[in-house]
Amino acid sequence: MPAPLLQMWGISKRFGATQALKDVSLTVESGRVLSLIGENGAGKSTLMKVLSGAHQPDAGEMTLEGHRYAPDGPNAARLAGVSMIYQELNLAPDLTVEDNIMLGQEVRRLGLLDRTTQRRKVREVLDRLGHPDLRPDTPLQSLSIGLQQLVEIARALVNDAKVIVFDEPTSSLTQHDVERLFQVIRRLKDSGIGVVYISHFLEEVREVCDCYSVLRDGHSVGEGDLDKSKDQEIVGLMVGRSVEELFPVVPHQPGDVLLKLDGLNGRRIPRDVSFELRRGEILGIAGLVGAGRTELLRCLFALDPVSSGKVQVEKVHPAPMPSARIRAGLGFVSEDRKDEGLAQTRSIADNTTYSSLSRYSRFGWLNLRRRTKSVSDWMEKLNIKAIGPEQNVDELSGGNQQKVALARVLHQQADVLLLDEPTRGIDVGTKAEIYRLMGELAAEGKAIIFVSSYLTELLAVCDRVGVMSRGQLREIRPVADWTEEEVLTVAIGSED
Amino acid sequence: MSGAQPKPTEDTPRLAKHAYVTRLLGTALGPFLALGIVVLFFAVADSMQDDGGAFMTVRNFRTISAQTATVAVAALGMTVIIIAGGIDLSAGTALALCATVLAWSLKEDVAVLVVAGNNVQGVESEIEELQEKLDRVTREIDRKEATDSDTTEAMEERDTLEKGIAAQQEELKRVTKIAASTSRYSPTLALALGIGAGCLCGFVNGFLISYLRVVPFIVTLGTMRLYLGVSKQIASETTVRPDRETQVPEWLGDFLSIRGKALWAGLPIGVWLTLVLALLLAAVLRYTVFGRYVFALGSNETTARLCGINVRWNKIAVYTLAGFFVGIAGLYQFSRLSVGNPTSGIGLELNIIAAVVIGGGSLSGGRGSVLGTLTGAAIMAVITSGCTQLGLKNPVQDIILGIIIVAAVTLDQLRQRRFAD
Amino acid sequence: MMRSRFLFMTALCVSLGCSKSSDNGSGSAGGSGGDKQYQIAVIPKGTTHEFWKSVHAGAQNAAEELGNVEVLWKGPLQESDRDGQIAVVQDFITKGVDGICLAPLDSQALVPYVEEAKEEGVPVVVFDSGLDDESNIVTYVATKNYNGGALAARRMGELLEGKGQVILMRYTPGSESTTQREEGFLETLRKDFPQIEFLTTDEYGGTTPESSLDKATQLLEKFKDEVDGIFAVCEPNATGVLGALEETELAGKVKFVAFDPNAPLVKGLADGTVHGIVLQDPVTMGYEAVMAMVQHLEGNSLEKRIGTGEYIATPENMNTDEMKTLLNPEQFED
């Protein structure tokens, strides 16, 4: 058996007090697709940053084609033949396809651009990827995200990449683009390139990958061929604990109808959404990225413009302004903690109370002592780990930040909680805490809408689950009546 | 929330406690230390001159406080804007506009102007003009009579002019009578107009920024010119010079004067007012809902929206409040110059912004403090004054100020980078 | 610890550096004049125009001649910054200089600060431009600007042979010296050459050559067919007008009289695009201002007004020795 294409041995990396990677090993073989699996925060990104030279490991070694490989930066890694395709593409939208592919590796003759040679190379590469129809002089910004991604892959090929790493490449693609990407990956594999594929979705992984390696809390916890492993086995490795531990159940009973939507339309999506939500009920919303789940919540909270439809909370029809929706008892936790959910440079106290400061004010002046007391109480209730209420949010871990965002909607005494991907990017322990909290809140009589891309948690936590596709809410069923496959079928959904 | 739940796997790193302390030091104490160092530097350098020793005197600190007051007050307003994530390039020309409006109002005896629709000066100059014309016509008549030409037309003109003068003299009596009772309200009204002009400038900025959704930099780049034009219009492109003796109230002239008779508890009244305003503003920023919203806007506008904060109106309020401070600063400038000059604010906005930035305000918003801004303004004034007393030339002074600003901004960047990861 | 020591050393170096540089100016080594050392602050309107460099040279000449005088030269950072000049005056009062020679940027705004200086025991000599209230100053050393304007008017009258249409480019409101020139020009031309008409008398060129260029170009475009002569009332103004004349291709055709020289204007005088330059004697002005201050400090009484002479250079007389030195006055160099 020949030496593997790429090997990483005993890689360790520490950031301050956090051990991000500990003695991790990985083998990539030529002509095979390796799936790197792990929860958020398991160390996948850090490992890939080590591979691409963005981070230097504290310990460990790497070899590429049998030679020592120690890149001192992304450029060195690229020159050595290791290319990364990130979720966010690194392209210049105003340049053409050709210019983007050749960016930084232009063919020069006598100091001038050699367009002829360049054009030939670009065509060759696009041929190799199975897309000879893509014209090199098209401006990049006129292409779909999927085709832009193809350009990025072409760039890696021009550079003679031996290993290509895909970091969650399907998260912003349409179903059609995903199919095309998988074909491209198979072509890459056939031409002898080693591929590392990072994804959360086991289904995707099974479709395109040959073998897997699982990371958990910075450790390698298992690897093998996908043919020979069951889903449960892999999930068990990822999570490291049993399903009961992960999804604590708090019994709760649905009560009276609290929220009523009647034909809600956004500017483009969502389209014609109607449903009722009862006190003490957790409604899950599943769907692909772009199906309109986030937009539904934003519309409901009047962050996005509402073009028609009725929203009724108990007996109130709140005006389409966030402030009115807050008064009516709605609370919204954004999927984007960093850029929308929280004012990162402000304190926990400020972030918790921004939506209901008037509670502590008289004639506009605040009673800070009373506020500090109240915020401290909430921090204790939600088990937020921080020095105190005045600590800035950006100094907290992802999980604790998410709890601050939750603390805000609880503090404003919202009755209907709109939670958009509340468990994204946080560790397993905190996830469990949040599931438990949701159960407890439902038991207190609050209603929760829970949007998530992680089907397993939706099916474990919710009372009912609705599936969205193309901006419409297709179907709501009690959770017991759904299987993962059925949800996916509806989500991918054919035209009606 | 206790019970048999899984143990959280992550803790806030211990490092954070340390970082928390340095952050406090960084925002509040940093500029203060810098001021200390600058003062110490000039004090030492000055005392080593043959004829030095004047730097560390009460008079010098009094002088510096009076010199920095104008920029400091305007910078208080700019602090609010910068904390809210905005910028105001029009502050300089708006300040000059306020000073010009104030000067114009005093010069035109504005209370009388409002009540009588005219003022004594205006009527008097009208009479003078008519009289001049009358003289010319009379001479013409004499000449024509000498040459025996037709004088009817000229005679008619003389009659109209004489009637005009008589009418104006009546008017003068009326206006003088009104002036006797209302003229004393002119200074108060002028003050209100000057400060009101500042608020209006700020309101316009805020309104345009909120409703056009254009970045503040561009909007205020435009209004900078706009306000310059308006004040040139008011001043008829010259300098407005109310009479120091009769039209400028004494307290206004002495507002920032460091002459013995003008001092109050050792400092000019204008300096005390600056300190009071600073205290009030600090309290507003810390202890009011509005103050919290200002920080929220600058830290993350989308979060503010999500929390149900009325972003538009709060922005307008921020710029209007800053305009109020610009109005006060206009008053200060007028009190120092005793003239209103439309161009005397050009370039001032950069000093104002520099004061905020040196004081730890971040141009990316969300950070800044009143104490820091006052310190920043003081640092610049100390350097200016110190350079004069050390006999350092203007180029050296410019270079030192430039270095201080770059250093302050670099420090801000370092702070941000530290907390970014 | 390390840090504070470092700062202390820096402070030391700088202060040594500057005391040395001020030594240069003081000429204290000789001490031929008197036994007392005088420190005199000279505050120009700005520090970048060539005119002020010559004033500086004159002041320095006086200091060197007397031997017991140190000249501290400092102006506002920007040319039209009244508040900046006020700050410089106040700082020199604080420093406790023996006297201040001031070229006020504004005839009204500086009045209270001159009064303040007097109260603090610092005498003030005003030069170049006057003040509205002259009761607190020792003396006023200046070109008789009105006479300078009159000289320009006479030259213009000669050039146009008593008839034609002219433009007066004013400088900026509130500048006493240029207002005097403008008055002198207007009144003399009206009185001595009644057939010459003014196309415009109320346009301001502004404080920079750029602003004057813009304004002059507009005016020349507007009066292209009528204008026979143009008078620019100071150096930045004249530079702008000369540029505008060249841009509108009127250079040489329109009679152009300037006030204060610089290299392009002098070259224009030789080329025939400039027909007269009113000259002041900035070197003498600086010299006389410092001399007057020292006279006052030594207890001598002075005239309230000291003239420093005004001249007109023409293409015909520009090569005489007298005009040569006035056209290229000595400039201060470090």
Domain containing B214 — which CATH number?
1.10.3470
Q: Which of B42, B271, B337, B397 to mutate to test the interface with C (most CBs of C within 10 A)?
A: B337
Instruction: State the average pLDDT over residues A13-25.
Output: 83
Give A249's DSSP letter. -
CB contact under 8 A, C15 and B48: yes
Total domains, chain C: 2
- Asked if the structure places residue C321 within a domain, the reply is no
Q: Which of B51, B68, B252, B348 to mutate to test the interface with C (most CBs of C within 10 A)?
A: B51
Same domain, B308 and B292: yes
pLDDT of residue C293 exceeding 60, the answer is: yes
Percentages of chain C per state (helix, strand, coil), in multiples of 5: 45, 20, 35
Residue matched to tokens 């984007």: A336
Q: Of C185 and A41, which is predicted with more confidence?
A: C185
Same domain, C221 and C275: yes
Q: B45 touching C, CB under 8 A?
A: yes
Same domain, B192 and B177: no
- CB-defined contacts B:C, below 8 A: 127
DSSP per residue, A281-329: -EEEEEE-TTSSHHHHHHHHTTSSPEEEEEEEETTB---SSHHHHHHHT
Of A322, A357, A382, the CB nearest to B306: A322
Same domain, C32 and C76: yes
Instruction: Round to whole Å and give the CA distance between C117 and C99.
Output: 9
Give B258's DSSP letter. -
- Asked if the structure places residue B159 within a domain, the reply is yes
Q: C214 touching B, CB under 8 A?
A: no
- Asked if the structure places residue C210 within a domain, the reply is yes
Give C135's DSSP letter. T
- Asked if the structure places residue B216 within a domain, the reply is yes
Residue ending a domain, among B154, B181, B208, is B181
CB contact under 8 A, C14 and B45: yes
Instruction: Round to whole Å and give the CA distance between A183 and A195.
Output: 13
Residue of B nearest to A41 (CA): B10
Q: pLDDT-based confidence at B5, cuts 50/70/90?
A: very low
Touching B: C residues 95-114, CB under 8 Å: 95-96, 106, 108-109, 111-112
B311-347 pLDDT, tens digit per residue, is: 999 999 999 999 999 999 999 999 999 999 998 999 8
Same domain, C116 and C36: yes
Q: Structure pTM?
A: 0.79
In this prediction, residue C5 carries a pLDDT of 45
CB contact under 8 A, C15 and B46: yes
In this prediction, residue B9 carries a pLDDT of 39
Same domain, B79 and B152: no
Of B40, B238, B260, the CB nearest to C173: B238
Same domain, C69 and C52: yes
**B300 contact residues in A (CB cutoff 8 A):** 339-340, 342-346
Residue ending a domain, among B181, B198, B227, is B181
Same domain, B205 and B86: yes
Same domain, C138 and C285: yes
CB contact under 8 A, A343 and B19: no
Q: pLDDT-based confidence at B18, cuts 50/70/90?
A: low
pLDDT of residue C9 exceeding 60, the answer is: no
Least confident of A35-44, A322-331, B219-228: A35-44
Q: C28 touching B, CB under 8 A?
A: no
Of B1, B20, B308, the CB nearest to A383: B1
Total domains, chain B: 2
- Asked if the structure places residue B421 within a domain, the reply is no
Of B45, B244, B347, the CB nearest to C11: B45
Q: pLDDT-based confidence at B420, cuts 50/70/90?
A: very low
Question: Quick one: tokens of B359?
Answer: 């004081």
Candidates C83, C76, C87; CA nearest to C47 is: C76
Contact C142, C285 (CB under 8 A): yes
Same domain, C115 and C6: yes
- Smallest CA–CA separation between B297 and chain A, in Å? 9
Instruction: Round to whole Å and give the CA distance between B42 and A191.
Output: 72
Same domain, B273 and B390: yes
Same domain, B248 and B305: yes
- Asked if the structure places residue B22 within a domain, the reply is no
In this prediction, residue C25 carries a pLDDT of 39
Residue of A nearest to B305 (CA): A322
CB contact under 8 A, B341 and C74: no
- Chains touching A (at least 3 CB pairs under 8 A) are B
- Count Cα atoms within 13 angstroms, Cβ side, for B343: 17
Same domain, C287 and C139: yes
Domain that holds residue C44: 2-143+281-309
- Asked if the structure places residue B293 within a domain, the reply is yes
CB contact under 8 A, C74 and B51: no
Same domain, C126 and C14: yes
- Asked if the structure places residue C327 within a domain, the reply is no
Contacts with C269 (C-beta within 8 Å, 6 or more apart), sequence order: C275, C276, C277, C313, C314, C315, C318, C327
- Asked if the structure places residue C264 within a domain, the reply is yes
**C94 contact residues in B (CB cutoff 8 A):** 54, 57, 59-60, 63, 385, 389
ipTM for the complex shown: 0.83
Residue ending a domain, among C262, C279, C296, is C279
Residue ending a domain, among B181, B200, B218, is B181
Residue matched to tokens 């073989």: A29
Q: pLDDT-based confidence at B142, cuts 50/70/90?
A: confident
Same domain, B171 and B58: no
Question: Quick one: tokens of B199?
Answer: 């608020």
Of A344, A396, A437, the CB nearest to B12: A396
CB contact under 8 A, A387 and B16: yes
Same domain, B215 and B300: yes
Instruction: Round to whole Å and give the CA distance between A60 and A12.
Output: 6
Same domain, B249 and B391: yes
Please, what is the angle between helix C50-66 and helix C282-297, to 10°? Answer: 40
Backbone angles phi, psi at C39, to 5 degrees: -110, 115
pLDDT of residue A9 exceeding 60, the answer is: yes
Same domain, B358 and B373: yes
Same domain, C81 and C124: yes
Of B67, B257, B392, the CB nearest to C112: B257
Contacts with B155 (C-beta within 8 Å, 6 or more apart), sequence order: B141
A176-205 pLDDT, tens digit per residue, is: 788 889 999 999 999 899 999 987 677 788
- Chains touching B (at least 3 CB pairs under 8 A) are A, C
Complete edge-to-edge strand list for the sheet that includes strand C140-142? C69-73, C38-43, C99-102, C124-127, C140-142, C305-307
- Asked if the structure places residue B219 within a domain, the reply is yes
- Asked if the structure places residue C23 within a domain, the reply is yes
- Asked if the structure places residue C304 within a domain, the reply is yes
In this prediction, residue B22 carries a pLDDT of 55
Backbone angles phi, psi at A34, to 5 degrees: -100, 130
Same domain, C65 and C82: yes
CB contact under 8 A, C77 and B394: yes
**C12 contact residues in B (CB cutoff 8 A):** 44-45, 48
- Asked if the structure places residue C68 within a domain, the reply is yes
In this prediction, residue C114 carries a pLDDT of 95
Residue ending a domain, among C261, C279, C297, is C279
Domain that holds residue B351: 28-113+187-416
A168-172, B240-244, C6-10 — most confident range: B240-244
- Asked if the structure places residue B2 within a domain, the reply is no
Query: Per the omega criterion (within 30 degrees of 0), is the bond before A270 cis?
Result: yes
DSSP per residue, B122-164: HHHHHHHHHHHHHHHHHHHHHHHHHHT---HHHHHHHHHHHHH
Same domain, C156 and C254: yes
- Asked if the structure places residue C202 within a domain, the reply is yes
Same domain, B198 and B252: yes
Q: pLDDT-based confidence at C44, cuts 50/70/90?
A: very high
User: CATH number for the domain including C271?
Assistant: 3.40.50.2300
A317-321, A482-486, C120-124 — most confident range: C120-124
- Smallest CA–CA separation between B1 and chain A, in Å? 6
Same domain, B355 and B210: yes
Instruction: Round to whole Å and give the CA distance between A356 and A367.
Output: 13
CB contact under 8 A, C94 and B59: yes
- Asked if the structure places residue B400 within a domain, the reply is yes
Instruction: State the average pLDDT over residues B257-267.
Output: 85
Instruction: Round to whole Å and give the CA distance between B214 and A476.
Output: 43
Q: pLDDT-based confidence at B28, cuts 50/70/90?
A: low
CB contact under 8 A, B306 and A303: yes
- Smallest CA–CA separation between B412 and chain A, in Å? 13
Contact C126, C149 (CB under 8 A): no
**Is chain C in touch with chain A: ≥3 Cβ pairs within 8 A?**
no
- Smallest CA–CA separation between C160 and chain B, in Å? 29
Same domain, C21 and C130: yes
Question: How would you classify residue A34: left for phi > 0, otherwise alpha for psi between -120 and 50, otherwise beta?
Answer: beta
Q: B339 touching C, CB under 8 A?
A: yes
Instruction: Round to whole Å and give the CA distance between C257 and C313.
Output: 10
